[in-house]
Chains A and B, each alone.
Chain A
Amino acid sequence: MLQITPVLAALKRHKVGTLLIGLQIALTLAIVCNALFIIHQRVTRVDRPTGVIEENLLTVRNEWTNAKGADLSALIRTDMQALRQLPGVQDVAVSYGYPLRGGGWDSNLSIKPEDPSRAIDAARFFGDEHVLSVLGAKLIAGRNFRADEVRMLDSHDLSSPSVVIITKALAERLYPDGSALGKPVYVGSSATPSTIVGITGNMAGFSAGTWTDATYNYVLLDPTVLVDKANAYLIRTQPGQLDTLTKAAPDALFKINRLRIIPDAENDGVRTFAEVRAQAYKDDRGLALMMGAICLLLLMITAAGIVGLTSFWVAQRRKQIGVRRALGATRNDILSYFLTENLVICVGGLVVGTVLAVSLSQWLVMRFEMQRVSPLYVLLGAVVLLLLGQAATLAPALRASRVPPVEATRSV
């Protein structure tokens, strides 16, 4: 088994070929382990819970076309009433901002008045008292908004609300000792406090954010309907009614009043929550998909390269193999010689590859604000490549082991 010395001696005579395979393995390791790490990060992101019961939930974005001077709050109330009467509808809420909506309003929060220096940025969801129940978000402390606390305002008349509900993550960030309920929070460096009357389980903000985003679950609910904004009607449907309502709900709304815009699904108009989620994570899924495809191709190409060069070496050394066989080497000796040779090259390549992988990761951290690759992934990549190298060498090495001893006597 231990044929390292002759292997090294032989490799010295094939410096360039050795170098090429080693380099290829090094580069492949650098790219594959970083790519796998990116895939892992993106996939974990995609799987983050939204804190919402995602089935049977429909969002219908509505914008008024004749906003100026119209009594928009009356129009919104009429819409809600009509939607509630549609068959298959369980409950309806109106909101500007919901999990993974894609864009929205964020506010600076602090626990002292007019204190922008230590403010925390959080997503601010505007809506009525039905938002929590329609989304299916659970209150873990305190109470929901009362109907009389809900304001209907033009966005330019907005002031800080008297009461708010915040997510658990945000509560723990604002009041690390766990005493947030009933305490004040100052919204948007306001001078007047808002009282935290409820705390919900974690809920995703309006955007999937960047992949380093630690504020994913920082959400504040404001019991205010911003009448002039692009509000969405959130509709909790009875099981099996989602598809029907996707068409029926906008139709019903247009029947009441045509002076509105409800964009199509592509422009975030009428979307089931499944579509909302898919759209929010499209880039992540796409990148993971692409990285996966590239990894797979890369491994295949590298394997093919090893097969090619090893075959060449075997063909070149038929005579020497014949001599060894004639001098008493078994088939297994020949087989293990080539496998060892590949192992030596692989290990060399992997050492260089580890350095490359770490530097590549370093560069990605600087250029794209990613996290540094975990050593586990480098190890995983190294093991995969080692096995791949052995597997790719197997066929040519077996061919080599079948070279008959008589080859030694053939001179041409």
Chain B
Amino acid sequence: MFAYYFQLGLRSLRRNPILTALMVIAIGVGVAASMTAYSVFRVVSGNPIPEKASQLYAVQIDNYGPQHNKKGEPPDELDYTDALALQQTHKAIRETSLYPVLLSVIPANADLRPIRSSSYAMYADAFKMFDIPFLYGRGWSASDDQNRTPVVVIGRALNERLFHGVNSVGQQIDLNGQEYRITGVIDSWDPQPRFFDPISVGPFGNPIQLFIPMSRAVDQQLITAGNTDCPDENNGNGWDAFLHSDCVWLLHWVELPSTADARTYRQYLQDYAAEQQRVGRFEWPPNIWLRNVTQWLDHEHVVPPETSLSLYVSLGFLLICLVNTVGLLLAKFLRRAPEIGVRRALGASRRTIYAQFLLEGAAIGLAGGVLGLLLTGVGVWSIGLVFDARVARLATVDLKLMASTLGVAILAAVLAALYPTWRAAKVQPAWQLKTN
């Protein structure tokens, strides 16, 4: 029966080719616009570390005070004094301060130019905390952190470039004129958005290729490649003065597996800030925040306004296409009132009428979906024209997107067919037969 109705549906589609084409185009275009916008939206609003999103927390401590902070909210980053104090007390199971640095690999061959790679300075805990996968070797040890050892973990792409992909653990490379020993090579790792630091270069940077101990980076006076925000600017007497200033430039992450751990840690932060107030460093009561990954990304507004705006506009567009399709389907179905009358008179139940017309709607949805797939392909391909290249490179057409394109198209068409079908099923056989 199903196959028969589907056939009827297809035949009916052929009967009014222009009307059918209009509906198919409306659904195809509407769905394609929505799915293209969604392909970007799902990346920028995605959860970059689903297993641990509620166990990793970003720490904020108000070292600015009510006079300088933004509407009572502590700054997004920490100053060196606070970050170092937290790291040394190490109350969490794992924790790390981190900041982006500018590191360049200097090839031994004097004819070659230095290679700049996206680089971070952090503590040994970070590898396990962030579930960073290793291809060869491992991260450095806590004693390397303490001794400021020149060690480095490099990324897969850089390992390909420098060592043709072979195991390079134990080799030395020249970073900014200093020799560093490679302790590990990480596999492809590129969380999007970059939850652990959405601030410095924006939430959608290139994959990180170099990690060095933060103690070493500070020792080498490597300035941050990200933001530095200072309540007062004129801290001005060299590196040590900068380290002791109120300028914020570090992120601090802690791993707290249970809510009880989180509660304990929050209390510790509270006590820490209270202590700072007691010794006179802060002239205000404790103002601290502990945000897990989800809350943090929300707080940082990682979804660009252009992206959500496009999504809303294209959804509105789809809605109009649907209203349009309802009207056209109504016209199409009711034009066949005499035919329905004959079928009903010959014994077809309302149910069968429902089945037949909804299937016809589904057939239109399927055709619209196929067109939508093509247009979505074109749309995703041309996203680079509209959005920031760093965001655009993340939007891809995969099986899931293709399936949802078809699914949304069919669902939309069936929804649009509901009312017209109901009207069609209400046709009175006797009346139709009489007027004919």
Binding site for B on A (CB under 8 A): 16-17, 20-21, 23-24, 27-28, 30-31, 35, 63, 65-68, 107-108, 116-117, 154-160, 187-191, 228, 254, 258-261, 263, 266, 282-283, 286-287, 289-291, 294, 297-298, 301-302, 304-305, 308-309, 311-312, 315-316, 364, 368, 412
Contacts and interface: CB of A to CB of B under 8 A. Distances in A.
Contacts of A302: 320, 324
Given A27-B319, A286-B306, A290-B310, A312 B176 contact: no
B56 interface: no
Contact of B323 (A20, A68, A154, A316): A20
Given A27-B316, A68-B220, A301 B419 contact: no
B258 interface: no
B399 interface: no
Given A24-B327, A261-B104, A312 B334 contact: yes
Contacts of B304: 283
Nearest to B106: A65
A156 B313 contact: no
B305 interface: yes
A125 to B, nearest CB: 15
B226 to A, nearest CB: 10
A179 to B, nearest CB: 26
A88 to B, nearest CB: 23
Contacts of A188: 230, 232-234
Contacts of B230: 188
A67 B332 CA distance: 74
Interface residues of B, number: 65
B180 to A, nearest CB: 14
A157 B238 contact: yes
Given A21-B327, A24-B320, A63-B102, A287 B234 contact: no
18 contacts: A23-B323, A65-B106, A108-B233, A155-B223, A156-B239, A156-B241, A160-B233, A160-B234, A190-B233, A283-B387, A286-B385, A290-B386, A294-B313, A301-B29, A304-B324, A305-B26, A305-B327, A312-B332
B236 A157 contact: yes
A298 B331 contact: no
A289 B385 contact: yes
Contacts of A187: 233
Interface stretch (B108-116, B260-268, B340-348): B108-116
A256 B327 CA distance: 72
B324 A24 contact: yes
B353 interface: no
A63 B223 CA distance: 12
Given A258-B113, A286-B306, A66 B177 contact: yes
Contact of A65 (B104, B305, B313, B387): B104
A248 to B, nearest CB: 16
A368 B305 contact: yes
A312 B313 contact: no
B238 A154 contact: yes
B323 A24 contact: yes
A191 B387 CA distance: 43
Contacts of B433: none
Contact of A312 (B33, B326, B331, B385): B331
Contacts of A156: 223, 235-239, 241-242
A17 B114 contact: no
Nearest to A308: B328
Contact of A116 (B68, B239, B320): B68
A157 B313 contact: no
B284 interface: no
A157 B236 CA distance: 4
B320 A67 contact: no
B33 A294 contact: yes
Given A17-B327, A35-B313, A305-B323, 8 more contacts: A154-B238, A228-B223, A258-B110, A259-B114, A282-B388, A287-B310, A301-B30, A309-B328
Contacts of B93: none
B220 A27 contact: no
Given A116-B67, A188-B233, A31 B238 contact: no
Nearest to B103: A65
B335 interface: yes
Given A65-B106, A154-B238, A31 B316 contact: yes
A304 B27 CA distance: 13
B329 to A, nearest CB: 10
B147 interface: no
Contacts of A63: 102, 116
B221 interface: yes
A303 to B, nearest CB: 10
B409 interface: no
A294 B314 contact: yes
A258 B305 contact: no
Contact of B324 (A65, A261, A305): A305
A20 B304 CA distance: 34
B106 A301 contact: no
